[in-house]
Amino acid sequence: MTVAPVRRATSGLQGRCRVPGDKSISHRAALLSALAPGTSVIAGFSPAGDCRTTLAALRALGMQMTVSGDLLHLKGGLDRAGEKVTREVDCGRSGTTMRLLAGILAGSEGEFLLTGHPQLLGRPMGRVAKPLREMGSDIGLLHHDLPPMRIRGAHLRGITYTPDVSSAQVKSAILLAGLSAAGPTTVVEPVATRDHTERLLAGMGSQITVSRTGRGCRVRMEPGELTPLHLTVPGDASSAAVIATAAALVPGSDVVIEGVSANPTRTGLLRVLSAMGAGVESVGHPPGHEVEPVEDIRVRHRPLRAVRIEAEDVPFLIDELPLVGLLATQATGTTEVVGAQELRVKESDRIRGLVEGLRRLGADAEELPDGFVVRGHTELTGGACDSLTDHRLAMTFSLAALIAHGPVEVSGLKFIDDSFPGFTECLGRLL
């Protein structure tokens, strides 16, 4: 255990800050650029460990690139020709890297083995393998649903597919495979998920249409070649959610987070903060962003009240739900989150890890099969929390130190760099 990198705040957080480039967009921008003949230029590329893993995987597949700070030049035109040897690709701890690469490689002629860190090898991949098999790819998993994942590429056919679980990664894998399929590919989502892949595909010349159907959507794409990408990646919405949560927790706080992705499929935590009573508003729209909407977001502390998160809300804040649990400890009333069983198969079982950690800090929290319940308002006493090597839990428990009356110790703080390098420094500038 290590003492959390922040201490109890003696006054409100004040000032302006920026967060690193969006992790989800950076992953997809690099992977799609690998498919586009020519050189793509991506500014604001995320320095997160998971995104570095994606670049390393692309290098292993023969991609040429240069990285200078947050500026990425990538020469596309992935070689889809077959080879006699199996090419092994290390996906580290990144589920996004493995799932999206599976879609890209499903239509290649070679044989590939996608593997990674033991934590990644415990995460389900059957939900990606199933539709890719229906498209014609030969995909094997070592333990039924778990990687390593062996892929023998094939000539693919377009399909219409409705995922069993709403997942932007599954949708993206299918669409990436569909670029090289015979005939159109359609993904039908009962509940719409983040749409970064669709936006990037459209910006790179793909024939793609998105039709809204209530809370869901229907995405249809024709196969075809992409054009190089020129993109400035906005600030990471999930990292901004961490700073916004800190501001909402600490009395007297007034913080502006500049240049953040305002994609409506990623702003669920901001909507929850508003529903809980925090002051949240857009205070600017930085120019120069065409593919993704971008805003400056102001967050002010106000007394919080409990909320209920339903299953249809979950896709828009799946990564931020641990933050909701922490916020709920400082809200009046009982907060309940349901329909979030996906949290049990993230980098850790986030439901169990969150509830156990909050209890150690003195909160009144309990697990549900598909979520959790937190009863507030509770004064947190401090304690030792196990992040289960999960970056989202490590950040959540670290934020608890801002309001706890005693020291907070957190295991696995180094894993915060998987998604938010500079987390401690960013918070420190506001304290």
pLDDT tens per residue, range 187-216? 999 989 999 999 999 999 999 999 988 889
Q: Which residues of 94-116 are buried (b: 16+ CB within 10 A; e: fewer)?
A: bbbbbbbbbbbbbbbebbbbbbb
DSSP state of 79: -
CATH class of 23-232: alpha beta
Tokens coding 400: 């608890």
Question: How far apart (Å, rounded) are the C-alpha atoms in residues 161 and 419?
Answer: 30
Residue 260 has phi, psi (to 5 degrees) of -95, 145
Question: How far apart (Å, rounded) are the C-alpha atoms in residues 32 and 221?
Answer: 15
Element (DSSP H or E) covering residue 240: helix 237-249
Instruction: Report whether pLDDT(109) > 90.
Output: no
CA dist list (Å): 302 to 174, 268, 427: 43, 19, 19
pLDDT at site 80: 62
For residue 348, how many other CB atoms are within 10 A of its CB? Answer: 24
Instruction: Report whether pLDDT(429) > 80.
Output: yes
Helix (H, G, I), strand (E, B) or coil at 269: helix
Per-residue pLDDT band at 290 (split at 50, 70, 90):
confident
Question: How far apart (Å, rounded) are the C-alpha atoms in residues 242 and 219?
Answer: 31
Instruction: Report whether pLDDT(82) > 60.
Output: no
The domain ranges of the chain are 2-21+234-428, 23-232
CA dist list (Å): 166 to 102, 163, 180, 217, 320: 18, 6, 23, 11, 16
Q: Do domains 2-21+234-428 and 23-232 have the same CATH topology?
A: yes
Per-residue pLDDT band at 83 (split at 50, 70, 90):
low
pTM for the complete prediction? 0.94
pLDDT at site 277: 98
The letter for the amino acid at 275 is A
Q: Is 319 a catalytic residue?
A: yes
Instruction: Report whether pLDDT(152) > 70.
Output: yes
Q: How do residues 214-255 score in pLDDT, each as one tens digit?
A: 889 999 999 999 999 999 999 999 999 999 999 999 999 999
Q: How do residues 299-337 score in pLDDT, each as one tens digit?
A: 999 999 999 999 989 989 999 999 999 999 999 999 999
Instruction: Report whether pLDDT(89) > 60.
Output: yes
Q: If you average pLDDT over residues 275-292, what whole number do you get?
A: 89
Cα-atom radius of gyration of the chain, to the nearest Å?
21
Q: If you average pLDDT over residues 383-404, what whole number do you get?
A: 97
pLDDT at site 165: 83
Q: Which of 336, 338, 327 has its CA nearest to residue 278? A: 327
**HSE value, Cβ hemisphere, 13 Å, CA-based, for 302:** 13
Strand partners, 143: 146
The mean pLDDT value of the chain amounts to 95
Instruction: Report whether pLDDT(367) > 70.
Output: yes
Residue 184 has phi, psi (to 5 degrees) of -70, 155
Instruction: Report whether pLDDT(85) > 80.
Output: no
DSSP state of 108: S
Element (DSSP H or E) covering residue 272: helix 268-276
Catalytic, out of 195, 319, 386, 418: 319
Return the sign of the alpha-carbon dihedral for residues 206, 29, 126, 106: positive
Q: If you average pLDDT over residues 147-175, what whole number do you get?
A: 94
Q: Which of 167, 40, 194 has its CA nearest to residue 102? A: 167
Per-residue pLDDT band at 6 (split at 50, 70, 90):
confident
Instruction: Report whether pLDDT(287) > 90.
Output: no
Asked if residues 330 and 376 have their Cβ atoms less than 8 Å apart, the reply is yes
Per-residue pLDDT band at 38 (split at 50, 70, 90):
very high
Q: Note the CATH number of domain 2-21+234-428.
A: 3.65.10.10
Question: How far apart (Å, rounded) are the C-alpha atoms in residues 9 and 399?
Answer: 10
pLDDT at site 75: 97
Residue 255 has phi, psi (to 5 degrees) of -130, 140
